[in-house]
């Protein structure tokens, strides 16, 4: 493989032009963006100042005040048009995701599909922002819940799902009557520019078709940590949805709660799978391979710990090692590649350091070495499978790289305990054909994660379910199910349509 000959800067400029992005926004600026495929620069973006960010939030708040008055199904129409723009631009945007993040082609496209799916979901939701009616103890009274828009919603997203995570938040926030202010990762701002341009296109169509929408409904802020801090501290941002490391969540969470703002935190995962004696091993092999090596191990849902029952260990693990040895690593834009590059050299160093610690703790490592590709600035690594004697050291932490720790187990109850004995709680799986094991895993004494699966890996969730996890994963839920409720405020209403004033709990107060 020699990627030195690729000219991704030219292709990026062409894609951005096709997607409607003005070239002035990504040339001549101060924020340099490189493609992990080549390690070479593909854009130089203008950055917002702290003052710009504050002014943008004030403007977004004004937009919210207008947008909340638009009926929800009409707000849904704007998101429907956004879905149409995404469908029309799926190939270009998917390719740009691949170039900016290093995802293989089908995963770049898959990320855009995830955006389309959540738009569809949100359109349906725009007619289903249901509240309850509640039985009241007082005659001629009615009690109900109403859900109201919340305000300008802050979105902080990570490099690994640079656009889907925005859409999970923005599609819901917008049908719920909010405006949004988005700070993407400094590593992936080009895809954000493209998404913002597609949103503007949808908005233009919405207005041309007679829809009423304020300016600044969706705002994009380019910059570093200080811009994120403005979002976190600004009194006109009632909710920040932040995706990233547990360290980031530890910084953001207390600052938000200090001013009683809401947080949706989607932080680190240390996802495990248990392979039981009755597991279908062919299916398990495929499930494990995708979950552990897919996206070069850079999903928050990536499989990082594998517990294999002693009775199937010698059948499964050699086959897995073979897959690790033969998986195609290289240019993610090429057909047939399954593992692309790591996002940068720092990620590679962290991977090497975790592997060093694993060895020191008695781990036997297969893979993990750098795969040369003709560029000193691009970091491709063979995914690593590490047989560990027990769950210690680096196994207890999330390393954002393709490392799978494999541990042999003999007793189901003990392995359940081990499964839950890490600080993170995002996603989990069990591979079994034993109903008791499967149901126990899903029960209250089973997996303690926000996502628990049977006979599929922990990654690659659909948008229809609520997404997020427990413990150090942060507790937030995004995407499907009733995650929309976090983007609205609940009002409990009691209406007296009678002529008397009975007080609740039998209280008497006659004046």
Structure tokens at 400: 């954002």
Going from the C-alpha of 142 to that of each of 390, 494, 496, 507, the distances in angstroms are 59, 6, 7, 19
Given 37, 78, 288, 300, the residue binding ligand UN1 (CB under 6 A) = 300
Q: Please identify which of the residues 266, 398, 472, 478 carries the catalytic annotation.
A: 266
3-state helix, strand, coil in the chain (%, to 5): 40, 20, 40
When the beta carbons of 460 and 474 are compared against ligand UN1, the nearer one is 460
Work out how close the CB of 319 gets to ligand UN1 at its nearest, in angstroms, rounded to a whole number.
Answer: 24
160 binds ligand UN1 (CB under 6 A): yes
Nearest by Cα to 34 from 63, 62, 6, 2: 6
Using CB under 6 A as the binding rule, whether residue 179 contacts ligand UN1 is answered as no
List of residues 6+ apart from 295 with CB closer than 8 A: 103, 107, 160, 302, 459
121 contributes a contact to ligand UN1 by CB under 6 A: no
Residue 177 or 253: which CB sits closer to ligand UN1? 253
Let me know if 377 is a catalytic residue: no
> Which listed range, 187-195, 357-365, 453-461, 501-509, lies at the site for ligand UN1 (CB under 6 A)?
453-461
Task: Give min distance, CB of 364 to ligand UN1, in A.
Answer: 28
Contact between 424 and ligand UN1 by CB under 6 A: the answer reads: no
Q: Which residue has the tokens 């002529």?
A: 499
User: The tokens of 141 are what?
Assistant: 């009274």
Among 161, 307, 313, 487, binds ligand UN1 (CB under 6 A): 161
Between 299 and 305, name the residue whose CB sits nearer to ligand UN1.
299
Q: Are 376 and 39 in contact (CB under 8 A)?
A: yes
What angle, rounded to 10 degrees, do the helices at 281-293 and 310-326 form?
A: 50
Count of Cβ atoms closer than 10 Å to residue 460 Cβ:
18
Q: Does 89 bind ligand UN1 (CB under 6 A)?
A: no
Residue 419 DSSP label: H
- Does 473 interact with ligand UN1 (rule: CB under 6 A)? no
Of 296-304, 352-360, 370-378, 494-502, the segment contacting ligand UN1 by CB under 6 A is 296-304
- Let me know: does 89 contact 16? Beta carbons within 8 Å: no
Of 387 and 478, the one with the shorter C-beta distance to ligand UN1 is 478
- In this complex, which beta carbon is closest to ligand UN1, that of residue 25 or of residue 302? 302
Q: Which residue has the tokens 């040339």?
A: 27
> Can you tell me which of 459, 476, 477, 488 binds ligand UN1, judged by CB under 6 A?
459
Q: What is the dihedral of CA 206, 207, 208, 210, to 10 degrees?
A: 90
Number of residues this chain uses to bind ligand UN1 (CB under 6 A)? 11
Q: Which of 461, 466, 483, 488 binds ligand UN1 (CB under 6 A)?
A: 461
Residue number, 167 or 373, with CB nearest to ligand UN1:
167
Specify the residue for token string 């050299």: 345
What are the DSSP calls for 77-125, one per residue? HHHHHHHHHHHHTHHHHHHHHHHHH---HHHHHHHHHHHHHHHHHHHHH
Element (H, E) at 288: helix 281-293
Using CB under 6 A as the binding rule, whether residue 460 contacts ligand UN1 is answered as: yes
Residue with smallest beta-carbon separation from ligand UN1: 461
* Residue list 230-269, contact with ligand UN1 (CB under 6 A): 243
User: Would you count residue 301 as binding ligand UN1 (CB under 6 A)?
Assistant: yes
Binding of ligand UN1 at residue 168 (CB under 6 A)? no
Instruction: Determine if 304 is a binding residue for ligand UN1 (CB under 6 A).
Output: no
Which residues in the 308-327 window bind ligand UN1 by CB under 6 A?
A: none
Q: Which residues bind ligand UN1 (CB under 6 A)?
A: 114, 160-161, 165, 243, 299-301, 459-461
Q: Give the residue numbers marked as catalytic.
A: 266
């Amino acid at each position: 493989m020699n990627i030195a000959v690729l000219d991704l800067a030219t292709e990026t400029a062409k894609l951005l032009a096709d997607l409607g992005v003005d070239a002035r926004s990504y040339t001549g600026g101060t924020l340099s963006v490189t493609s992990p495929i080549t390690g070479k620069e593909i854009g130089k973006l203008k950055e917002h100042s702290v003052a710009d960010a504050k002014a943008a939030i004030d403007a977004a708040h004004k937009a919210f005040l207008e947008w909340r008055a638009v009926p929800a199904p009409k707000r849904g129409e704007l998101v429907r048009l956004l879905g149409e723009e995404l469908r029309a631009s799926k190939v270009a945007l998917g390719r740009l995701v691949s170039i900016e993040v290093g995802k293989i082609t089908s995963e770049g496209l898959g990320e855009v599909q995830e955006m389309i799916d959540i738009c569809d979901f949100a359109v349906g939701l725009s007619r289903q922002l249901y509240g309850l009616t509640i039985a009241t103890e007082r005659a001629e009274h009615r009690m109900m819940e109403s859900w109201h828009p919340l305000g300008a919603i802050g979105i902080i997203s990570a490099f690994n799902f640079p656009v889907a995570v925005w859409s999970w938040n923005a599609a819901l926030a917008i049908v719920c009557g909010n405006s949004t202010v988005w700070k993407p990762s400094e590593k992936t701002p080009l895809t954000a520019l493209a998404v913002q341009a597609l949103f503007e296109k949808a908005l233009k169509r919405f207005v041309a078709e007679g829809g009423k929408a304020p300016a600044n409904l969706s705002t994009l802020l380019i910059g570093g940590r200080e811009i994120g801090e403005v979002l976190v501290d600004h009194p006109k941002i009632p909710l920040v949805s932040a995706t990233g490391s547990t360290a980031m969540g530890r910084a953001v969470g207390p600052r938000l709660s200090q001013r009683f703002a809401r947080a949706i935190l989607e932080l680190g995962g240390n996802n495990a799978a248990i392979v039981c004696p009755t597991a279908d091993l062919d299916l398990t092999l495929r499930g494990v391979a995708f979950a552990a090596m897919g996206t070069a191990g850079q999903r928050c849902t990536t499989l990082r710990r594998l517990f294999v029952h002693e009775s199937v260990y010698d059948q499964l693990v050699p086959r897995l090692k073979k897959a690790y040895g033969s998986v195609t690593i290289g240019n993610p834009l090429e057909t047939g590649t399954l593992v692309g590059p790591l996002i940068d050299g720092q990620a590679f160093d962290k991977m090497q350091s975790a592997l060093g610690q694993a060895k020191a703790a008695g781990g036997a490592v297969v893979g993990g070495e750098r795969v040369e590709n003709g560029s000193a600035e691009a970091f491709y690594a063979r995914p690593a499978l590490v047989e560990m004697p027990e769950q210690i050291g680096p196994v207890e932490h999330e390393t954002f790289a393709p490392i799978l720790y494999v541990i042999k187990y003999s007793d189901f109850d003990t392995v359940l305990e081990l499964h839950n004995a890490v600080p993170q709680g995002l996603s989990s799986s069990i591979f079994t054909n034993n109903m008791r094991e499967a149901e126990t895993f899903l029960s209250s004494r089973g997996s303690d994660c926000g996502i628990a699966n049977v006979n599929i890996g922990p990654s690659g969730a659909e948008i229809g379910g609520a997404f997020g996890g427990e413990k150090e994963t942060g507790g937030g839920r995004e995407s499907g199910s009733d995650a929309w409720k976090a983007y609205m405020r609940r009002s409990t209403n009691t209406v007296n349509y009678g002529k008397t004033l009975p007080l609740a709990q039998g209280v008497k107060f006659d004046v």
